[in-house]
Amino acid sequence: MEIILREHVEHLGERGEIVKVADGYARNYLLPRKLALLATVGNKKHVERERRIVEAREADAKQQAEALAARLAAADLTIARRVGDTDQLYGSVTAADIVELLKERGFEVDRRKLIFPEPIKAIGDYDVPLKLHREVTVKLKVHVVKAGGARLPAGGQPPAGEPPAASEEPPA
């Protein structure tokens, strides 16, 4: 049976494609879930009109995502956490922490869009991918530092004229 896909179906095809499938698969799965239409002349015209509208909406969404990505790429996110003697964090930095920091800076981002396989558990600099759109992904620069300590410049030395950061331990 020939059908027109209304949505992307894994291992079958993309939206708007005309594909041949088994009669039972179309009748019992694709058509009742409104994932496909029968491939008739009228349905082909309807899907073509729908496709043009969706493409225009998709182009607008991609443009907005690219503009947001440019602003996010410039953002420098620093998170201060308490650490132990071996610079291991007490706890971890999670996607929710990063989203909260972004919200404080005026960016509304869904936590599920962060590609964050596991929480950050050590101090350092990290690139955390954020998928804003199907085709737009931006890498957020996240710096995890010791609580109470300042982030040092790239060379690792404090700027000239500034005293080194005070030690956390009181003098003996």
Q: Are 123 and 146 a contacting pair, CB within 8 Å? A: yes
Burial class (CB in 10 A: 0-12, 13-18, 19+), 16: middle
Instruction: Return the pLDDT at 56.
Output: 92
Give the residue with greater pLDDT, 150 vs 169: 150
Q: Which contiguous run of DSSP H or E holds residue 95?
A: helix 95-104
pLDDT class of 169 with cuts at 50, 70, 90 = very low
* Residues 122-163: tens digit of each pLDDT: 888 999 999 988 888 999 999 999 887 555 444 444 444 444
DSSP 83: B
Q: What total of structural domains would you count in the chain?
A: 2
Same domain? For 113 and 60 the reply is no
DSSP 148: T
Structure-token pair, residue 27: 């009748």
Q: Are 63 and 30 a contacting pair, CB within 8 Å? A: no
Q: Are 166 and 153 a contacting pair, CB within 8 Å? A: no
Q: Are 77 and 142 a contacting pair, CB within 8 Å? A: yes
* Residues 47-94: tens digit of each pLDDT: 888 888 988 999 999 999 999 999 988 888 899 988 888 878 888 899
Residue 9 has pLDDT above 80, yes or no: yes
- The total of other beta-carbon atoms located within 10 Å of residue 111's CB is 14
* Residues 103-119: tens digit of each pLDDT: 998 888 888 888 888 88
Instruction: Return the pLDDT at 149.
Output: 57
Residue 165 placed within a domain: no
Q: Are 8 and 14 a contacting pair, CB within 8 Å? A: yes
What is the domain range of residue 111?
Answer: 69-146
Residue 152 placed within a domain: no
Residue 168 placed within a domain: no
Instruction: Return the pLDDT at 150.
Output: 53
Same domain? For 95 and 49 the reply is no
DSSP 163: P
Residue 165 has pLDDT above 80, yes or no: no
Residue 24 placed within a domain: yes
Instruction: Return the pLDDT at 158.
Output: 44
Give pairs for 12-18: CB < 8 Å, separation 24+: 15/51, 15/54, 16/47, 16/48, 16/51, 18/44
